[in-house]
Structure 1
Amino acid sequence: MTPFSDIQALIIDMDGVLWHGSQPLPGLIDFFDTLRAKHLRFILATNNATLTAEQYVTKLAGMGVRIGTEQILTSAMATASYLSREVDPATSRVFVIGEEGARAPLLEQGFTLTDTFDPVNTQTNADIVVCGLDRTLTWQKLANATYTLHAGAKFIGTNADTSLPTEQGMTIGNGAILAALQAATGVKPITIGKPEPIMYRQAMALLDTDTNKTIAIGDRLDTDILGAVRADIRSLMVLTGVSSEEDLKVSDFQPTWVMQDIRAITQALQKT
């Protein structure tokens, strides 16, 4: 039995699975052509909160793959959806560390965003701090977030990845920013992205599928694979990203399957 003989849907990571930075990985177009030929539903689910769904659609189009925004789920989108169920967006103000990808989903859910902290006119301050990866991060942003957290705001992280793979190598991830804010305030964030199961559960709801007929595909043990374990779904790890076969040897948990890359996944699909 191949990994794909009894499934209906795939939840697929992007960075390290489909591309490195702006470079598509070999076999990308064939992979998506095969998904469609096999009538497999999929969601592209990423912890990277810097881009909007529309920007990811554009990025994939530039690589020769056409998808819709409804097939994208970022940790920022998952965060906005989670918060909209926890609080009333119409009466909630959010301070955001993050880029357009973090801000846009909150605005779409009806939240009011603020970039400042006022020690005098406290009614204008945020009651939630949302932190995503921010490549324009400044001391002032960190300071205002710290003031807001000290004033009692909820602390939400889009994801806790401490590192981010790029074409130049590994660089700082959002988890390092969260750690700095936690060290400064003593407030521990609630994180939404993988390895928390929230994103996978949201993706399954969007796909109208269940744990028995869904597979998560990723490259990173501590996020993609651990998240699948916590969400009680099977997982497939590719070796084109962060985690390696050596990492597997010392891990307390394992993916259901390991394949070299998306070309190997395509070959397995074509055999079903």
Structure 2
Amino acid sequence: MHAQVDIAVQAAARSGQAPTWDIGTETLLWTDPPAGDVHRYRPGHTNATMTLQQRTGGAKPRSRGGLVLHLHEGVALFDAHGEQRTWLVYWAREGMTAGATMIDRKGRMWATTMRTDESGDGWLARVNPDGSAGVIIKDLKAAFGLATSPDDARFYIADAGTGRIEVLDFDVNAGLMGNRRTFCEVGGQPSGLAVDTDGTLWTAVRDKAELHRYSPAGELVATLPLPAQRPTNLCFGGQDLRDLYITTSRDGLPSPTDTDGTILTLRTPTEGLRAFAFTG
């Protein structure tokens, strides 16, 4: 696969994560968990920053305005001005931190946690708009990517700790899943997931400076080298949802370059699935 990769945001993030295209504002939300920062980038304009007091795994838009944040200690709501925080779920545990975050078509949040050393015992939780929550899967190592298929019949989990992307049968109406199985072996550390309208699955491979693209059957159909050493996550954005945004990291690199810690972007041949807002 050949594509021109550009720098969208000349940031120096310690570990950029959780890119999300906010359709309502036509901006890119992304976080830098080690720095405790939430960013909002308006293409061609500015990159605004909100600094919090703890690691923020993900920031997603709310249908009522404001954000829902997947924090180190749980899930919280922020008002439209980013001034008032209300805890929705508080699950702080020693040695655990926030992982991936996704909002499904019904406005529910799906969030993973993991050990700070990525050694295991992580879980996937469903957080309903009313604040009720439950653990759905308990044995994840470092689940940095969540996604669903275009028809909502499949739920994907990318686990960097196992080097696999798993797939489950998904009932979006009930918020339940089952028949967990391996979708593909990545041959690296998959970090972040994005799905296009063709059902093709994209993932960043953080230890290989690559993007991989997989068919709905789990076959590797394209590999794209990146100019950053450690890509961490990705999402579709732009007015036509054909701009792929890729977050990257500088932390732990012996010789970081000017592209490490930036937000990269490239044009794709297919349209991505739109992101949903949390309805709580």
**TM-score, length-normalised on structure 2?**
0.28
**TM-score, length-normalised on structure 1?**
0.29
Larger Rg: 1
**More helix per residue:** 1
**More strand per residue:** 2
